[in-house]
Structure 1
Amino acid sequence: MLSISNLNFYFGSRALYEGANLHIKPRAKIGLIGANGTGKSTLLRLISGEYTPDGGNISKSGECTIGFLNQDLLSYQTDDSILEVAMQAFERQLELQKLIDKVLHKMETNYEDKDVDQLAKLQEEFELLDGYTIQSKTEEILEGLGFTTADLTRPLRLFSGGWRMRVMLAKLLLQKPSLLLLDEPTNHLDLPSIEWVEKYIHDYEGAIVVVSHDRYFLDRTIDHIAEVSGAKITLYPGNYSFYTEEKALRNEVQKGAFENQQAQIRQTERFIERFKAKASKAKQVQSRVKALDRIDIIDDVIDEKAKVNFKFNFGTQPGRFILFLEHVSKAYGDKVILKNTSATINRGDKIALIGANGKGKSTLLRVISGTEQIEGERRTGHNVIESFFAQHQLESLQVENTLLEELKSTGTTKTEMELRSVLGCFLFSGEEVFKKIKVLSGGEKSRVALAKVLISEANFLLLDEPTNHLDMQSVNILIQALQQYEGTYVVVSHDRYFVSNIANKIWYIEDNEVKEYPGSFDEYETWMSTRTSEQAPVAKSKEKPKPELAPVEVTPKSKSTEKEIEKLEAQIMTLENELETIEHDMAALAQASKFDDLKNLELKRNEVQNKLDETTASWELLIG
């Protein structure tokens, strides 16, 4: 459907793409990933025709239509209602409706046979294009994306950038292009909307290329991963989880091949150095020099899994209780956010505040920080030192400061070497620490602002959507930083992978009250799914009911049981030997870079491992 061949594109003197290739088939669902700055959004603009390649070719079939959702659409404003804007997707149907209305108006005063014929033709085409259902289809998609029925008649200009982006997404989905390009579509969506879009994309009949850092979203929507790295595009079959496994396997093979080649090069260079002065060895030396010139150098594996090796400490230890909210109410006019709700934050709580947009998550975060006027009481505990991160704080960065100067401006007592180490954790290395804030991208500014929060030595952090505009590597760094952080925090986020790795409690707002689930996000999802599906009312309890375990009766093992145990032990030994042989063969294939054979052997290895696990489980059951 669309083919990219030997693509070259340069940003100044820097090559974003050199000899890159990608083939997009009909109905393919491709996740486009890579570090910030590698050119993912640029590739979408090249495919859409907004940018022109510096070399190579992008060709598409004649019937291929392209729809592109990009971040520029955030600034679009109009007085038209959001229903009218989304319905612009049905250009021909709306044109037909106007023609039909015009003919009907004319027939009211001047009835002619030719008008009747024209009206019949127009109505026939209108019906063939499902013109009578376009409004209901539009309403269904807008409401699926989180708009209420009352919202549909409100002007687009009254909505924030994130909500305007949803309207543009609705319009694009209604157009049903054969190739849909989506640039970070989940950035401005809440969890219910993300789940709705996941299902819609899964069932979408056209092809999709989506840039996203949401791993759960990619796992549930796409069937291929296209990785942008080193000015090339590498395509992996499967979802994101499969990609991580396959990437690790390829890296292992490449690392082995690189090390073997380097050893061969060193051996050849030693031979040349040793015998270059001997006339009797001149021919052999010359032969090896030519061999070195002809060698196709294998690149070393780039370590993209940055590790945080800096401990984010705080000087003052708080008391057991961090914050109390008692009988708190908050409303904006008639819109009630919180009503007579109470909550407690204890030292060591790692809280994720989740839920649909409009429920009041950001308002609650401001209530917790003490920057929002409320009815009721807010009390902080002993020695609580707070630091607040929100997207609007990126604007408060001093644009003329260097990265190093910006971190020093927090008043930290850390040395310059320690600050450079912190910046290194957030992917700013070497001379990059002397960059000015004004030249940074949005994602880079987010990393600087997050670094400022973490070196503030606060023992209580409030983070509002900290993963917005961060690539996967940066999200991984933030996860590591928060996992080793010994203080308390409350995080608002819609990134399910991020939340599942950093939270030990889940907060959500329901019936204008703060509700708590005392467990991880994965446990919360399971609990919520069960709760939603159950028809009968359930008892309100913070603890999940524990199943009663039947007492285990211990009896002597019979002779037949002992024979069965011996038989299983023999099978386990055989399977272990078989597994060892397979892994030895896999190592040999990896050295030879035989990926297809390696993949087949990997399947056999998994089959033997599964059988070994089953046999071992049976053995453990018998021996008690």
Structure 2
Amino acid sequence: MIKIDNLSYSFPNKDLYHNISFTLENDQHCAFIGSSGSGKSTLIDIIMDPENYMFDGTLEIDPNCRIGYVSQFCEVDNTKETTVFEYLCEDYIKLQNEITSICSLMETSSDIDALLEKYQEALDALDVIGGDDFESTLSKKLNLANLSKLKDSKISDLSGGEFKLIQVIREMLNSPDLMIMDEPDVFLDFENLNSLKNLINSHKGMMLVITHNRYLLNNCFNKIIHLENHELQEFDGSYIDYNFTLLQTKIELQELSVADDEEIERNERIIKRLRDRAEVTGETAAGRYLKGKMKFLERLEARRIKRPFVEIKQPYIRLTTNNQVEEKVALKVNNYSAGFDEILLENVNFEIKSNDKVAIVGLNGTGKTTLLRDIFKNDTPAIEIDSEIEVAYLSQLQGEILNESNTILEEFLDAGFKTYDDVETYISNYDFEEERINQKIKDLSGGEKNILQLAKISASKANMLLLDEPTSHLDIYSQMALEEAIAKYNGAILMISHDYYSIINCVDYVLLIEDKTIRKMNMRKFRKMIYAKYFDKDYLEIEQKKRDLEMKIAISLRNTDFERAKALSEELEALIKSL
């Protein structure tokens, strides 16, 4: 139904694709993966609206293909007074009203033929979205997503995570031939992530989903498209099989590549000695031997093994402070309450020490972001921050912290950097090349914006960080780099997260929001709660071991330690079999 052949596309200051090709066919559930900023969202934009892009190559889409789309940036319309049921039924109700209106016109109109044509078109459209079974299908989808309780709620009362799932259901109800979703898992709590998994697996039809979420990748897809370093490869099968196959291929290719490089370097040395000798002695035989060696070198260069697809691409994230303070109470919250139309949090009390690393955990819509913002603003008597504590804030709404009309250079000059060179040197550590320093922030990917927020926070040298979903939009290697940076940070961290691995790898304890209050929970109890309520214990523990092994293999390859990489690969294979 969709075929892309030798497609190439570039921004003015960044190449995205070089001759990429892939196909999507009926009933394939395809995960679209790749590092932050590799061009995944742009390729989806091209598929949805090819007339707006000047690209080389061909893009073929069945002209009758109906596309459903869920953006990574779905925001609740706080003015929407319709209920969830009315919102989901909007297109269905319109068609029913149209059919009723046409039937009414038929009673008095003389142009029956034209009305009959419209009537048939409306009936066909109604049939496409399920016709008489529409309301039954809607109820099944809500049950599957565990959202039946919200059927009569107003759209304006939904949390961001709940609204994201409602958006997914709405698009699925329209029965598209191709369902496209751009990071639909971002900001979803543990319960809603399971609901999204259920919705994806229940969908009958072709699907293309951008995600970095390992849980969805492992449980939802039968085809993988991987975009990296301007190239693309496709794999028919599960993500677990693809990732293991990719690692084995990388080990084989990199070993061959290093051997090729060594052979080429050896022949280059021989040619240099022969050239020097021929110039000094003028011997004909030496000249002929030199020409032969040069032709041999050309053949070696021509058949040189290509560097393995997807070299490890991990930004060096640092979180630094110039003002480390001795252990003391950095933040105290006393009888804090928050709410809008209804109370979200009531009489909340807790304190955080100057070296504590803490995660706020709770379902979507329970007031986590409201609390973090109020701590950052520090304008209520219920919140006390020690005078030695400097606070920096990362927002899930990236435009709150970054001026998206700025270039990267302007953003950091505004933040106190003095020169172009200072900015260029600093951001190069975060994987932003020099040629991108004048790129507009609005043109960055969601993951790149989060990396830029982290770079800006680190530059502030604050000794207390408030992080609202810091791993959102980040690829797996960037998530792991952030975990390492948090572990090394010498100040206090209070972060909102729904990422299980970031929580267990980074924090000392969690603050759990339940029943409009907060209670402190140690990590052992937190794990037990997650195992009991949301995810299988064995799966989570094996997946953590898999992730660690994959990173060790990547590091071994970077260090050209192939024997260790092979041994680790055997460990990984045994672990995969236990899943």
TM-score interval for Structure 1 and Structure 2 normalised by the shorter chain: 0.7 to 0.9
Aligned counterpart, 1:151: 153
Matches within 5 A, 1:587-602: none
1:459 partner letter: N
Q: Which of 465, 474, 485 is equivalent to 1:461?
A: 465
Aligned counterparts of 1:367 and 1:610: Cα–Cα separation in 2: 44
The percent identity for this pair of structures is: 25
Tell me the equivalent position of 1:115.
none
Aligned to 2:393: 388
Q: Which deviates more from structure 2 when the two are superposed, residues 203-212 or residues 182-191?
A: 182-191
Of 434-443 and 182-191, the range deviating more from structure 2: 434-443
- Partner of residue 95, structure 2: 95
Quote how far apart the aligned CAs of 1:360 are: 0.8
Quick one: structure 1 residues 9 and 336, their matched pair in 2 at CA, closer, same or farther if it must change by over 3 Å? same
Aligned to 1:57: 58
Change (3 A) 1:225 1:504: farther
Q: 1:514 to 1:174 in 2, by over 3 A?
A: same
**Cα distance in structure 2, aligned partners of 1:201 and 1:320:** 47
1:226 and 2:229 aligned: no
Question: Which one scores higher on RCO, CA 8 angstroms, separation ≥ 6?
Answer: 2
SS in structure 2 opposite 1:345? Answer: strand
| Displacement of 1:321 | 2.8
Task: Identify the residue that residue 530 of structure 2 maps to in structure 1.
Answer: 525
1:116 aligned residue: none
CA distance in 1, matches of 2:100, 2:404: 57
Residues 67 and 177 of structure 1 are in contact (CA less than 8 Å); yes or no, is this contact kept in structure 2?
yes
- Stretches of structure 2 that go unaligned for 5 or more consecutive residues are 109-118, 537-556
The answer to whether the 8 A contact 2:336-2:349 is kept is yes
Deviation of 1:525 (Å): 0.8
CA contact (8 A) 1:9 1:55 kept: yes
Q: TM-score, length-normalised on structure 2?
A: 0.75
Q: Cα distance, 1:228 vs. partner?
A: 0.8
Partner of 1:312: 320
Check the 8 A contact 1:224/1:238 in 2, yes or no.
Answer: yes
- 1: CA distance, partners of 2:523 / 2:226: 34
- Confirm or deny: 8 A CA contact 2:17 2:231 kept in the other structure: yes
The residue that corresponds to 1:361 in the other structure is 368
Residues in 1 aligned to 2:514 and 2:391: alpha-carbon distance in whole angstroms: 26
Q: Is the 8 A contact 1:310 1:421 kept in 2?
A: no
Determine the structure 2 residue equivalent to 1:70. Answer: 71
1:279 to 266, 280, 284: 284
Q: CA deviation at 1:215?
A: 2.6
Match of 2:540?
A: none
| The one of 303, 326, 335 aligned to 1:327 | 335
Counterpart AA for 2:514: E
Deviation at 1:453, TM superposition (A): 1.8
AA of the residue aligned to 1:354: V
Residue 133 of structure 1 and its aligned partner are, at CA, apart by 4.0
Matches within 5 A, 1:159-558: 166-187=165-186, 189-276=188-275, 277=278, 278-294=283-299, 295-301=302-308, 303-306=311-314, 308=316, 312-332=320-340, 334-369=341-376, 371=378, 373=380, 377-380=382-385, 383-392=388-397, 394-397=399-402, 403=408, 406-407=411-412, 422-430=426-434, 432=436, 443-519=447-523, 522-529=527-534
- Deviates most, 18-27 or 63-72: 63-72
Which deviations, in whole Å up to 9, do the C-alpha atoms of 1:31-77 show, x marking residues without a partner? 21223332212222333353567343334568754323335876999
Matched with 2:27 is 27
Relative distance call for 1:371 and 1:201 in structure 2 (3 A) is: same
Report the Cα offset of residue 351 of structure 1.
Answer: 1.8
Per the alignment, in what secondary structure is the counterpart of residue 17 of structure 1? strand
The Cα of 1:161 is off from its aligned counterpart by 8.2
Alignment partner of 1:455: what SS? helix
Q: Letter of the aligned partner of 1:289 in structure 2?
A: M
Aligned-partner Cα distance in 2 for 1:7–1:291:
34
Measured in 1, the distance between the counterparts of 2:239 and 2:507 equals: 22
Q: Distance in 1 between matches of 2:420 and 2:126?
A: 70
User: Quick check: 2:37–2:444 contact (8 Å CA) kept in 1?
Assistant: no
Indicate how the Cα distance of structure 1 residues 76 and 284 shifts in structure 2: closer, same or farther if over 3 A, else same: farther
Q: 1:248 & 1:471 partners in 2: Cα distance? A: 17
Change (3 A) 1:48 1:461: same
Question: Cα RMSD over matched residues?
Answer: 4.7
Q: In 1, distance between residues paired with 2:69 and 2:465? A: 37
How far the C-alpha of 1:361 sits from its partner, in A, is 0.8
| Rg larger in structure | 1
- Listed one character per residue, the Cα deviations across residues 141-160 of structure 1 (whole Å, up to 9, x for unaligned) are 468385823335x5x7x989
Aligned equivalents of 2:32, 2:505: Cα separation in 1: 23
Secondary structure in structure 2 of the residue aligned to 1:427: coil
One-letter amino acid matched to 2:488: Q
| Residues 96-150 of structure 1: CA deviation (Å, up to 9, x unaligned) | 5643576489889xxxxxxxxxx9xx99997997534423543554683858233
Contact 1:88–1:171, Cα closer than 8 Å, also in 2:
no
Q: 1:279 and 1:124 mapped to 2: Cα distance?
A: 84
Instruction: Give the Cα–Cα distance (whole angstroms) in 2 for the partners of residues 10 and 427 of structure 1.
Output: 19
Deviation at 1:519, TM superposition (A): 0.4
* Conserved 8 A contact 1:306-1:425: no
How much does 1:440 deviate? 5.2
In structure 2, what residue type is equivalent to 1:66? I
Structure 1 Cα separation of the partners of residues 503 and 163 of structure 2:
26
Deviation larger for 30-39 or 47-56? 47-56
Q: Given the superposition, is the C-alpha separation of residues 499 and 464 from structure 1 closer, same or farther in structure 2, using an over 3 Å criterion?
A: same
Q: In the TM superposition, what whole-angstrom CA distance separates every residue of 1:419-453 from its partner, at most 9, and x where no partner exists?
A: 76653332234465576767755544432322222
The 1:529/1:189 distance shift into structure 2, 3 A limit, reads closer
Structure 1 residues 318 and 368 mapped into 2: Cα distance closer, same or farther (>3 Å)?
Answer: farther
How many angstroms apart in 2 are the aligned matches of 1:449 and 1:270? 47
Change (3 A) 1:453 1:133: same
* Count of residues in correspondence between the two structures: 528
Out of 259-268 and 289-298, give the one that drifted further. Answer: 289-298
Name the SS for the 1:358 alignment partner: coil
Q: Write the distance in 2 (CA, Å) between the matches of 1:125 and 1:379.
A: 59
The Cα shift of 1:365 comes to: 1.6
Deviation at 1:212, TM superposition (A): 1.6
